[in-house]
Structure 1
């Protein structure tokens, strides 16, 4: 036998030979019962708090990812930008710009801005290759005029969004 086992056995025999007075036994029992009652009273509250924190930790990020992006209204999805040489970072920058535009423009202005942007982006995506290089020679004369007209109609909105508009 190892020394630990021998020591454990000796302590067990000594504990068995001891007798606890009944009053001490009663006080220990009462103390233990109070401890158990207090623990039961606090535990459900802790569980609720932990469940609430866990739910918030799960729901908040999922709500952020589940929200529709303004850039999706214009491009369709981030995959469209990737097909034309863009990256996720480019897509996030466009989304941030559109969020800023939504905050700075009136509701009617923002609707018109997004509609004009959709038309302009269709033309831009048509002339942009997989590497992100723009080939303006792919536009017909009519499309080129439409492109310039859209750009001039969007210029005041860009000035207002960027804060360069003069009062």
Structure 2
């Protein structure tokens, strides 16, 4: 997507060569799993998502949507809504868009974005695995309230 390691390093200061190679390997696997046509569409979505992470993300790759202008957030939401079935497929799961009602799917996308925003604002390092809600700083736990995100 960004070409060479040197080119990507201009955009992401803390990327390692191993991280770059892992990302490249995942893209090659995605190309095989999705097929040429779907892969092309997926990478267009992925480019929008990655650009938002670079511009509004923290050092761990989580996007703070409160920093994003509302027009751009609406575009990001639309792209994520279209891209999520590809992520589901690449993760070996049934498409969430197929098993949820349109209203539930919209809530699911909002929940994913809320989760990422909280991680960014709390400066949580998820590169070593998922977090437990109980380990969030006090002011962020309320964002995981079932009433707000589900």
TM-score (norm 1): 0.48
More helix by share: 1
2:20 & 2:11 partners in 1: Cα distance? 7
Indicate the RMSD between aligned Cα atoms, in angstroms: 2.9
Q: Corresponding residue for 1:72?
A: 2
2:21 & 2:36 partners in 1: Cα distance? 22
User: Which of these two proteins has the greater Rg computed from alpha carbons?
Assistant: 1
Q: CA deviation at 1:114?
A: 0.8
- Which among 63, 73, 85 is matched to residue 156 of structure 1? 85
Unaligned ranges ≥5, structure 2: 99-150
Q: Corresponding residue for 1:38?
A: none
Aligned pair count reads 95
Q: Corresponding residue for 1:119?
A: 48
The question of whether the paired residues in 2 share the 8 Å contact of 1:81 and 1:91 is answered with: no
2:12 & 2:31 partners in 1: Cα distance? 24
Q: Corresponding residue for 1:97?
A: 26
Q: Corresponding residue for 1:7?
A: none
3-state SS of paired residue (2:93): coil
Q: CA deviation at 1:76?
A: 8.6
Q: Give CA-to-partner distance per residue, 1:70-104, whole Å, 9 cap, x none.
A: x435x993314532x33222222211111110011
Matches within 5 A, 1:1-167: 71-72=1-2, 77-83=7-13, 85-128=14-57, 131-132=59-60, 134-165=63-94
Which contiguous aligned blocks of 4+ residues in structure 1 show a shift greater than 4 angstroms? none
Q: CA deviation at 1:123?
A: 1.5
Change (3 A) 1:81 1:95: farther
